[in-house]
Chain A
Amino acid sequence: MLNHYHWRGTLEAVCIPIAAIFFSLVLFGIFCALAGADPLGVYASIYKAAFGSWFSFQNTLIRASPLMLTSLCTALPAQLGLMIIGNEGAFVIGGIGAVAVGLAISSAPPTVVQLAMAISGIVCGGLWIGAVGALRYYRAVNETISSLLLNYVAIALLNHLVSGPMRDPSSLNKPSTYPIPALDMLGSIPGTRVHYGLIYGLIACAITYFLMRRTTFGFAARTIGGNIRAARIAGLPVGKLTVAICFLAGSCAGLAGMVEVAAVQGRANESLNANYGYAGILVAFVARYNPLAASLVAVLLGGILASGGILQRLHSLPDATILVFQGLVFLVVLYSESLYGRFRVFQDQSTVRRPPSVPYVPRPTSL
């Protein structure tokens, strides 16, 4: 609930991540300077490659759409107090699921195929992270570790399937599945090169926000995240809600995998494992787990990540330099978590931490 009382807190939640991104840009500039490039030139190139023209901005949006979806895989369980970083795994599994269904029913009308692929991606990703939630609740397995390790399982499964059971024999140097027929691919939003995945991402962020803030389901989830003992006293079904939230989180990442397969790659192969999952964690961190903020942050980071190529072409820096930047943002954002509550500007002056219990309302005489 956003309201006037919390405005300083809201300001803090906006300013600190932005400052963190700027600070990591400065660090990245130093890194570029050490690598022999002109930092200011690099900044200019990043800006140009990300937001400089309509053409490049469309590129940015194409990269942002999976990030919006994968960020929800971390942002949603965070409301429960769970730190899940299995985005990459759910993304890959969602992609595999979508391809499998898409190929299996390729004779059906395109709309049906697309819908079936989306549902398959959602269900597969959902089950993947739902399992993490179930392990957490019923067997007390740490959700961060299990989701991280499941990433490797998912990637290994992908490699096994595309080089074995699902392999298209004609894909020689890069084992892949059979391609999804062009007719069944997701199209672009009219007038742009941006595929419909962007719409999926925006809708998913909006729905998630609504779900967490305006529904009883979200209320119960936030109660569990805030204090599980109080949630139990209120009789909330902690286990069911944990698994349900994890399922939803995984299904968002799974949908991102489906979009990547059905709108970009056209088939599943090792390029499916393209770091969108890990970048999604970053988006969720920077957005402070707020789904609406995640959609904006996804555009910002999507733009920066889209500029990898130009750094190589113009500044003779390796393509992977941009991953250095991503790593720096991670570190600085994690560090910035420790700064909350440290700045007096952001504290409500009259009610610092523990306000004295001086009467705010007149005490009725009946007491």
Chain B
Amino acid sequence: MSNQIDTAQDSNHFQTKANLHTQGFAGDGSGTADKGEAATAPGGSLRENGGVDCIDPNRLDFLEQAQRSAGGSSLATSLLAQPPELEVVNITKQFGTMFALDSVSMSLKPGTFHALLGENGAGKSTLVKCIMGFYAPTSGEVLIDKQICQIASPRDAHRYGIGMVYQHFTSVPAMTVAENLVLSRFDSSNLINWKLEHEQLSAFMQTAPFQIPLDVPVAQLAAGQKQKLEILKQLYLKSRILILDEPTSVLTPKEADEVLGLLQAEVQTGWLSVLMISHKFREVTAFADEVTVLRKGKLAGHGLVKELSIQDMAEMMMGEKREPQQVEKVAPSALAPILQLKDLHANKDNGLEAVAGVNLTIYSGEIVGIAGISGNGQRELVEVLAGQRQATSGQVLVNGEIYRATRAEMFRHQIFSLPEEPLRNACVPNMSVAENLALRTFDRPPQAKGGWLLIHRVIRQMAQALVTRFSIKTPSVDTPVGNLSGGNVQRTVLARELSSERIKLLIAANPCFGLDFAAVEYIHGQIVAARNRGVAVLLVSEDLDELLKLSDRIVVISGGRFVYESVTTNADFAAISQSMAGH
């Protein structure tokens, strides 16, 4: 039987890795099937072929058996009582000559909610990847219940009851929620009894802290729901220690509070320990018991949340006290309509209507914020405006002219966009930073001669200037942009989209997704500065605080329609929340 377990786990591990690999490169179908997608197929088909009615009576016990056999008897007994204690001792991780982690120690006590704070590149992700077995630490140990453990892969981590929710989604987009949940199991047999699985999954969903329809393909879920699925997956796997990598960046504040509140309740019953990577002090103070702060790969402090103030934590994170910048707005001089949407309709990928006739006018020098729970048509609306999706009917006018998102129109009207998931939407991962920075300008002087001959020297020079000005951390401008960290990919897109002096219209969608405190302040500053220069800004965000802080007018989208509109200073918070929820 142990053989059988291993085979199943092997294929599953492979699946997860392959899927992770796919994330950055997924085009929209016309790109070459990269190795990751190709590799996904065997695992998937194996399971689908196995859809024969046959029950393995032992399968429900598989998980616990696997955990027991792997963890030894002491671990097995402790599993039944409370989550194991997780400690890392003096972990160092070196990449080449750089220390991503420099003798960091921390301890996650059983049944606690622990937050891991730090700026981009502070080493938070590296630390949890060492715990999960993605990286082998250069030195140092991971201890579980005071015993040194060798964790060589996420599969090993799972045996110790440690599960992780990643910053990037790891579900297979083409498969349904139910299939993804079954697929995520480390103990599946080769034959799957779908009827039984569905019954069990429905039963599981009933007790789960939040619900997702089981029969919907993951590709059709909005970002917020996908993130919920990732958390559900770990609960379904009965993980006892849950590591969350910025779990709420795609959720509305209300959803975030709900999810974290439910997780907190689980923690308080003593069933679960949570280690959460976060940038949001509000979440840390509201939900976490303990906090560990990293700065530049080193331990910058830790303590009980109730004994620390936000200023203390910010100081640990930044190394100095820093007040949040207040956005300074100047009164707009002359108002001219820049962007007009007239009865705009657009469909989702599955052909259902996502944007159901919206009308909006945005004037120069104003930020219009669009609030809404993810999956209510914001994504499709932004895709239409950015040129990634065809509107089914209605008109988009820019400066009074019909706009079809061609390159010539974008240049004439100076339209720029900051889409969500920049690596997927706005960068070519295998092209260099310099080439990505030139994406808007490569066919114009001085980067091109006569409209056809590229001047690589100029492209690299201009890229070098932008890299310095926007402090993009990259070994060189020739590095493929896919090799940069998430924050730096975002900076690359920002540099390209915000560096133009003549920008007239900016379309931004969740521009601060997953960024740290300093970067968020910086982007907010840039957006407001653009507004003050007379740029019309459409800001779609799932972070209501961000919208209330930045926008001049706020519009709520629900079910593809604009259901609430108000000048931000007069906006009624309760009314916004209600209309977001569709009431």
Q: List chain A positions with a Cβ less than 8 A from chain B.
A: 1, 3, 5-6, 78, 80-83, 136-137, 213-220, 222-223, 225-237, 337-338, 340, 349-361, 363-364, 367
- Does B120 have its Cβ within 8 Å of any Cβ on chain A? yes
Query: Is B387 a contact of A358 with CB atoms below 8 Å?
Result: no
Chain A residues near B31: list those with CB within 8 A: 81, 225-228
Chain B residues near A225: list those with CB within 8 A: 31-32
Query: Is A361 a contact of B430 with CB atoms below 8 Å?
Result: no
Partner of A78, one of B32, B123, B425: B32
**How many interface residues does B have (CB within 8 Å)?**
69
Query: Is B387 a contact of A230 with CB atoms below 8 Å?
Result: no
Query: Is A356 a contact of B474 with CB atoms below 8 Å?
Result: no
Query: Is A215 a contact of B453 with CB atoms below 8 Å?
Result: yes
Compute how far the CA of A231 lies from the CA of B27 in the bound complex, rounded to whole angstroms. 11
Query: Is B483 a contact of A351 with CB atoms below 8 Å?
Result: yes
Query: Is B27 a contact of A81 with CB atoms below 8 Å?
Result: yes
Are A356 and B98 also in contact (CB < 8 A) when A351-B483, A363-B471 are? yes
Are A216 and B454 also in contact (CB < 8 A) when A233-B417, A358-B297 are? yes
Q: How many A-B contacts are there with CB distance less than 8 Å?
A: 166
Chain A residues near B471: list those with CB within 8 A: 361, 363-364, 367
Query: Is A81 a contact of B32 with CB atoms below 8 Å?
Result: yes
Query: Is A350 a contact of B96 with CB atoms below 8 Å?
Result: yes
Q: Which segment of B187-195, B350-358, B404-412, B535-543 sits at the interface?
A: B404-412
- Does B560 have its Cβ within 8 Å of any Cβ on chain A? no
Chain B residues near A231: list those with CB within 8 A: 428
- Does B427 have its Cβ within 8 Å of any Cβ on chain A? yes
User: Could you name 14 residue pairs across A and B whose Cβ atoms are closer than 8 Å?
Assistant: A1-B435, A136-B30, A215-B452, A216-B451, A216-B452, A225-B31, A227-B31, A230-B425, A235-B408, A354-B483, A355-B483, A355-B484, A356-B126, A357-B485
Residue of A nearest to B39 (CB): A338
Residue of A nearest to B450 (CB): A216
Which residues of chain B from 105 to 127 have any CB-CB distance to chain A below 8 Å in the complex?
120-121, 123, 126
Query: Is A229 a contact of B28 with CB atoms below 8 Å?
Result: yes
Compute how far the CA of A122 lies from the CA of B179 in the bound complex, rounded to whole angstroms. 50
Are A219 and B442 also in contact (CB < 8 A) when A1-B432, A228-B30 are? yes
Chain A residues near B409: list those with CB within 8 A: 235
Compute how far the CA of A142 lies from the CA of B204 in the bound complex, rounded to whole angstroms. 40
Known: A216-B443, A226-B429, A230-B428. 14 other contacts (CB 8 A): A5-B479, A81-B31, A216-B451, A227-B427, A230-B427, A235-B409, A235-B410, A237-B406, A237-B407, A338-B35, A350-B475, A352-B95, A357-B485, A358-B473
Residue of B nearest to A213 (CB): B454
Partner of A358, one of B32, B99, B425: B99
Residue of B nearest to A338 (CB): B35
Compute how far the CA of A214 lies from the CA of B452 in the bound complex, rounded to whole angstroms. 8
Chain A residues near B386: list those with CB within 8 A: 232-233
Query: Is A1 a contact of B478 with CB atoms below 8 Å?
Result: yes
Query: Is B425 a contact of A229 with CB atoms below 8 Å?
Result: yes
Compute how far the CA of A135 lies from the CA of B518 in the bound complex, rounded to whole angstroms. 48
A336 CB to closest chain B CB (Å) equals 12
Compute how far the CA of A358 lies from the CA of B442 in the bound complex, rounded to whole angstroms. 30
Are A357 and B484 also in contact (CB < 8 A) when A81-B30, A223-B431 are? yes
Query: Is A230 a contact of B426 with CB atoms below 8 Å?
Result: yes
Are A350 and B98 also in contact (CB < 8 A) when A227-B429, A233-B388, A234-B407 are? yes
- Does B488 have its Cβ within 8 Å of any Cβ on chain A? yes
Compute how far the CA of A226 lies from the CA of B427 in the bound complex, rounded to whole angstroms. 9
Q: Type the 1/0 row for B380-410, where 1 means its CB is closer than 8 Å to any CB of A.
A: 0000001110000000000000000111111
Residue of A nearest to B387 (CB): A232
Q: List chain B positions with a Cβ less than 8 A from chain A.
A: 27-28, 30-32, 35, 93, 95-100, 120-121, 123, 126, 296-297, 386-388, 405-411, 417, 419, 424-432, 435, 438-440, 442-443, 448, 451-454, 456, 467-468, 471, 473-476, 478-479, 483-485, 487-488, 518-519, 522
Partner of A233, one of B123, B419, B488: B419
Query: Is A220 a contact of B100 with CB atoms below 8 Å?
Result: no
Chain A residues near B419: list those with CB within 8 A: 233
Partner of B428, one of A1, A217, A223, A352: A223
Compute how far the CA of A1 lies from the CA of B436 in the bound complex, rounded to whole angstroms. 13
Compute how far the CA of A96 lies from the CA of B97 in the bound complex, rounded to whole angstroms. 62
Partner of A223, one of B411, B439, B453, B522: B439
Residue of A nearest to B425 (CB): A229
Query: Is A216 a contact of B95 with CB atoms below 8 Å?
Result: no
Chain B residues near A137: list those with CB within 8 A: 30
Compute how far the CA of A3 lies from the CA of B483 in the bound complex, rounded to whole angstroms. 16
Compute how far the CA of A233 lies from the CA of B417 in the bound complex, rounded to whole angstroms. 8
Compute how far the CA of A367 lies from the CA of B515 in the bound complex, rounded to whole angstroms. 14
Chain A residues near B126: list those with CB within 8 A: 356
Query: Is A229 a contact of B27 with CB atoms below 8 Å?
Result: yes
Q: Which of A234, A337, A349 has the most CB of B within 10 A?
A: A234
Residue of B nearest to A211 (CB): B452
Chain B residues near A83: list those with CB within 8 A: 32
Q: Which of A78, A214, A351 has the most CB of B within 10 A?
A: A351
Are A222 and B485 also in contact (CB < 8 A) when A235-B407, A337-B35 are? no
Chain A residues near B95: list those with CB within 8 A: 350-352, 355-356, 358
Are A233 and B32 also in contact (CB < 8 A) when A226-B430, A351-B96 are? no
Are A1 and B456 also in contact (CB < 8 A) when A355-B483, A360-B473 are? yes
Partner of A3, one of B410, B478, B488: B478
Compute how far the CA of A226 lies from the CA of B479 in the bound complex, rounded to whole angstroms. 15
Compute how far the CA of A3 lies from the CA of B429 in the bound complex, rounded to whole angstroms. 17
Are A357 and B483 also in contact (CB < 8 A) when A1-B432, A235-B405 are? no
Compute how far the CA of A363 lies from the CA of B448 in the bound complex, rounded to whole angstroms. 31
Query: Is B473 a contact of A226 with CB atoms below 8 Å?
Result: no
Compute how far the CA of A187 lies from the CA of B387 in the bound complex, rounded to whole angstroms. 51
Chain B residues near A136: list those with CB within 8 A: 30
Partner of B27, one of A215, A228, A340, A357: A228
Query: Is B476 a contact of A5 with CB atoms below 8 Å?
Result: yes
Compute how far the CA of A137 lies from the CA of B430 in the bound complex, rounded to whole angstroms. 23
Compute how far the CA of A219 lies from the CA of B126 in the bound complex, rounded to whole angstroms. 35
Residue of A nearest to B431 (CB): A226
Chain A residues near B428: list those with CB within 8 A: 222-223, 226-227, 230-231
Query: Is A236 a contact of B100 with CB atoms below 8 Å?
Result: no
B135 CB to closest chain A CB (Å) equals 10
B476 CB to closest chain A CB (Å) equals 5
Query: Is B97 a contact of A233 with CB atoms below 8 Å?
Result: no
Chain B residues near A237: list those with CB within 8 A: 406-407
Compute how far the CA of A236 lies from the CA of B388 in the bound complex, rounded to whole angstroms. 11
Compute how far the CA of A227 lies from the CA of B32 in the bound complex, rounded to whole angstroms. 10
B116 CB to closest chain A CB (Å) equals 15
Query: Is B120 a contact of A361 with CB atoms below 8 Å?
Result: no
B246 CB to closest chain A CB (Å) equals 14
Compute how far the CA of A340 lies from the CA of B468 in the bound complex, rounded to whole angstroms. 33
Compute how far the CA of A1 lies from the CA of B386 in the bound complex, rounded to whole angstroms. 29
Compute how far the CA of A354 lies from the CA of B24 in the bound complex, rounded to whole angstroms. 11
Chain A residues near B296: list those with CB within 8 A: 358-359
B178 CB to closest chain A CB (Å) equals 28
Chain A residues near B388: list those with CB within 8 A: 229, 232-233
Chain A residues near B438: list those with CB within 8 A: 219
B292 CB to closest chain A CB (Å) equals 18
Chain A residues near B408: list those with CB within 8 A: 235
B402 CB to closest chain A CB (Å) equals 15
Chain A residues near B435: list those with CB within 8 A: 1, 219
Are A222 and B479 also in contact (CB < 8 A) when A216-B454, A357-B487, A363-B471 are? no
Chain B residues near A351: list those with CB within 8 A: 95-96, 475, 479, 483
B279 CB to closest chain A CB (Å) equals 14
Chain A residues near B454: list those with CB within 8 A: 213-216, 218-219
Query: Is B32 a contact of A350 with CB atoms below 8 Å?
Result: no
Residue of B nearest to A82 (CB): B30
Partner of B100, one of A219, A337, A338, A356: A356
The 3 closest A-B pairs by CB, nearest first: A350-B96, A235-B407, A357-B485
Residue of B nearest to A363 (CB): B471
Residue of B nearest to A231 (CB): B428
